Chains A and B, each alone.
Chain A
């Protein structure tokens, strides 16, 4: 009844075909606005990967997307669609900011653990309510997380305008953090060991992001909690039968997911902007959905997809510079097409591929 696909087809072939379709559609959009897609791809790739400057930015963006992509993936493994990454990241930013502003930190190594805690706790706090409401009251988590994104946005505006703003200034942003909180930039770290790199925003958080991806892999595939989380994600009745408390696992999953989304603030706020700026999340929470879908909710896939989106974001900026008719909004279009083809229209590819394999090697039972 359910013909089996070989693992490689499921993990590589289908995502690749979906992605191909998404990019073909994006190419059609470029043609529609009267530009040359081949030239566009050229500038995109050169802009993102052609220089250490481009690479630095690419990985700076990728770092953010690894965090938000992991956040969506973890929830996805437990069968929860967390669309609230955007709001959880924004609140996580408040957490980082409060830590950084609280003390005249002497050195970033001292500030970082507390900032991680701040980002994680605040992000988690914003995710725990939708998680709890889903588990206890059956409130659809997709809708509540969407609502929480808007509530977070209003809250951050309120805080920046009324509480955290520099007195006398009109700009809705906090004062600069003490230099002792600034995470080292990648060009500084590489410079210390004799490798020169153009200054870019890529910073120490990139290393944290890779650690987070590894940690997520261990969590999902090696720990008892991950086992419970996956069992729950596949079948709630079976999880209950296996002694797994659905309320507990839903809340814990959302806490981890929200904390992970909050971590992106380490990269943007603490690592680069060194102050809290209105709308610093800039849609990264939503990119996480695309990244998780493309990466099949597996940490390795998420890292690869996040780098791809890093390329798109950095390359897209360069592209907009070189070909002004293709504005940066092209990135949002591509992101949408990736979500569409790898998520919603997945069966466009999966069904024919499955049929094809079914014909080649019929199942034997």
Chain B
């Protein structure tokens, strides 16, 4: 039982950055801007948040700085893919390298610790919050420990990430902004002829993507761990992308996909290999599983992942 609860707990912790980045990608890609630069934006935010938190001793100032760094990268992506009608995929690749290089270069220059930021003290981090009555209810057998250890005692960003799922659903399907966002990803011509600016709608989506990636990155360095280390995202941005495809670009399934991938990661951390008697599953397989599953989904063997129709293409008025 303890093992299950611990696994569930760490799944949630590990799913949080994926979920934020996945929703970030969702806003961008539903608006027709492909983003394989989630990883880079997270990394930039993780570094900036940790560096600023270390200097100011404030997790909140760090978070804001991290979000701003991520948004700055988003603006580069928006400039390339919307204004200059460049290749969105190549722009994403460039952003990933830019973040990977700049974070370490600047980190080394500022702190001289091989690209790391100084260890953050607890008061410059986001720490767990005890939900009301966690201790009391924890004694109830069965559901009690689940409440105390799985649902309670996470930091604020975890709750923000999970709250972002219904919020995103509501924005997407119940508001004018969401209607226009989805429309611009399916048929920008329809949006343009309806008298709405395709450019500003897409910029807005990409900026939201930047904000969410920023929170995700800040979570990595100031909540989940206590400082930034070189390439600390370690592919999480791509797992988030995989989850987005897995979820077919919808918010609720995104939650499910991120929890699944978070769980796989938690398993991999806990067990070096899983012995099923005749079959031993190595940890590397668990690490690769999100990617394998995504390829299977993309191949259409299990359901079919169809991206937003206008995704990846700059909008050019047709004669």
A, B: real partners:
yes
Residue of B with least CB distance to A348: B84
Question: B58 contacts the other chain (Cβ, under 8 Å)?
Answer: no
- Nearest CB of chain B from residue A182's CB, rounded to whole Å: 30
Q: How far is the CA of A139 from the CA of B86 in the complex (A)?
A: 22
Contacts of B76 in A (CB 8 A): 340
Q: B94–A339 contact, CB under 8 A? A: yes
On whether A147 and B291 interact (CB within 8 A), knowing A326-B105, A336-B98, the answer reads: yes
- Which of A81, A333, A346 has the most chain B CB atoms closer than 10 A to its own CB? A333
Interface window among B48-56, B171-179, B281-289: B281-289
Q: Among B79, B115, B284, B291, which residue has its beta carbon within 8 angstroms of that of A157?
A: B284
Q: Which residues of B contact A332 (CB under 8 A)?
A: 97, 100-101, 104
B140 within 8 A of A: no
Verify if A102 is at the interface (C-beta below 8 Å from B).
no
Contact of A143 with B101 in the complex, beta carbons under 8 Å: no
Which residue of chain A has its CB nearest to the CB of B37? A344
Residue pair A162, B105 in contact (C-beta under 8 Å): no
- B97 near A286 (CB under 8 angstroms)? yes
Give residues 97-153 of A contacting B (CB, 8 Å): 129, 133, 137-140, 142-144, 146-148, 150-151
Q: How many contacting A-B pairs (Cβ < 8 A)?
A: 148
In the complex, what's the smallest C-beta–C-beta distance from A279 to chain B, in angstroms?
12
Chain A residues, CB < 8 A from B97: 286, 332-333, 335-336, 339
- Contacting pair B79 A333 (CB below 8 A): no
Query: Smallest CB-CB separation from B239: which chain A residue?
Result: A150
Q: Binary interface profile of B, 296-315, with partner A (CB < 8 Å = 1, else 0)?
A: 00111000000100000000
Q: Is there a chain A Cβ closer than 8 Å to B245's Cβ? A: yes
A339 in contact with B282 (CB, 8 Å) = no
B270 located at the interface, meaning its Cβ lies under 8 Å from any Cβ of chain A in the complex: no
Main secondary structure of the interface of B (DSSP, over half): helix
Given A34-B109, A143-B294; A330-B288 close (CB under 8 Å):
no
Is B93 among interface residues, defined by CB-CB distance under 8 A? yes
When distances are taken between beta carbons in the complex, the residues of chain B under 8 Å from A32 are: 106
| Across-interface contacts of A347 in B (CB, < 8 A) | 84-86
A183 to B102, CA, bound (A): 36
Residues of B in contact with A, size category: 35 or more
Contact indicator per residue, chain B 101-126, by CB within 8 Å of chain A (1) or not (0)? 11011101100000100000000000
Taking a contact as CB atoms under 8 Å apart, the answer to whether A151 and B86 are in contact is no
Q: Which residues of B contact A231 (CB under 8 A)?
A: none
B242 contact set on A, CB distance < 8 A: 147
Q: Give bound CA distance, A118 to B90, whole Å.
A: 30
Q: Is A33 an interface residue (CB 8 A)?
A: yes
A148-B295 in contact (CB<8A): yes
Give Cα distance in the complex from A147 to B299, angstroms: 12
Set of chain A residues within 8 Å of B269, measured between Cβ atoms: none
**Contact B291–A329 (Cβ < 8 Å):** no
> A348 vs B94: C-alpha distance in the bound complex, in angstroms?
16
Task: Provide the bound-state CA to CA distance between A154 and B93, in Å.
Answer: 21
Interface string of A60-85 (1 = CB under 8 A from B): 00000000000000000000010100
Further pairs besides A146-B241, A154-B284: 18, Cβ < 8 Å: A29-B102, A33-B109, A83-B89, A139-B298, A143-B36, A144-B298, A148-B291, A332-B100, A336-B101, A339-B94, A344-B80, A344-B84, A344-B87, A344-B90, A345-B80, A345-B86, A347-B84, A347-B85
6 A-B pairs with least C-beta separation: A332-B101, A344-B91, A336-B97, A333-B101, A336-B98, A343-B90
Q: List 28 A-B contacts (CB under 8 A).
A: A33-B105, A81-B89, A83-B89, A129-B295, A133-B298, A133-B299, A139-B298, A140-B298, A142-B89, A143-B36, A144-B295, A147-B294, A147-B298, A150-B235, A150-B291, A154-B284, A154-B288, A158-B282, A289-B93, A329-B115, A334-B101, A336-B97, A339-B93, A343-B91, A343-B93, A344-B84, A346-B84, A347-B85
